[in-house]
Amino acid sequence: MRAVRVAVAGLALAGTMHAHGTAFADSDPVTVIELFTSQSCYSCPPAEAYLGELSGEKNILALEYHVDYWDRLNYGRHGRWKDAFSTPEMTERQRAYNAEIRDTRSVYTPQMVIDGRSEAVGSRRREVQNLIAKVRKDDQPRVAVDVAAAENGGVTVSLGDVAGAQADVWLVTFIREVTTQVLRGENHGKSLTNHNIVRTVRHIGKWDGKRAAFDVSDLTLEDGQGCAVVVQDGEVGPVIGAAYCPAGVGGAES
């Protein structure tokens, strides 16, 4: 586990339960797993592989956020490696989560955030599985989320009723899978495969707990990209609903 204290704005995604695991039922609520990682972090590849497994699990929405603070690491004669997917916005998201969950501005990689409620080292599979099981048993409100392709090429997001609930609705776009040959830095010589790499997080509306629909007409995705909807208490609060977008929306063919 690599840790760092970020002094300036920065930001510090998940699968199968087969190894050591708990099998979750099809009726379980969708759980959002966010892995904060970096191709410049030596201890991150096992967590990235685990996220790839989790991304294939039923009722798991797995997202991978690449932080930028390891881009500056000079690993002796192997130099630095700039993660092509890292952004300050991803680092800022991680910092905000840690302030909420851990009451600290310190961040580390690889870190998994489970449903915006708890966190663990992303390579510690049993701990992550236990946290998933825990959040699925709690009594927090959950909302049914349906995402359908719209005639104009965008999507329509439909939410059910949850008395007294309030939340923000977010549209997340991501690259489904990329393999990178890392030439320098701590992971020099490795071939890394990343899954569901987040590129944008867009606020599409506020929800007041009543049945509602949100239309996104200007969604444009490239081939190999996908999207998901997350209903969350604020920007980094508890998740109360989520769903992947259907295939083919936004113009993407695969």
Cα-based distances in Å from 245 to 146, 153, 155:
9, 12, 8
Single-letter amino acid, residue 36: F
Model pTM score: 0.89
Tens-digit pLDDT profile for residues 42-90: 999 999 999 999 999 999 999 999 999 999 999 999 999 999 999 999 9
Domain count, the chain: 1
pLDDT of residue 93: 98
Per the CB < 8 A criterion, the answer to whether 59 and 26 are in contact is yes
- CA 56, 90, 175, 82 torsion-angle sign: negative
Range of the domain at 121: 2-251
DSSP 8-66: SS-B-------TT-PPPPTTSPPEEEEEEE-TT-TT-HHHHHHHHHHTTSTTEEEEEEE
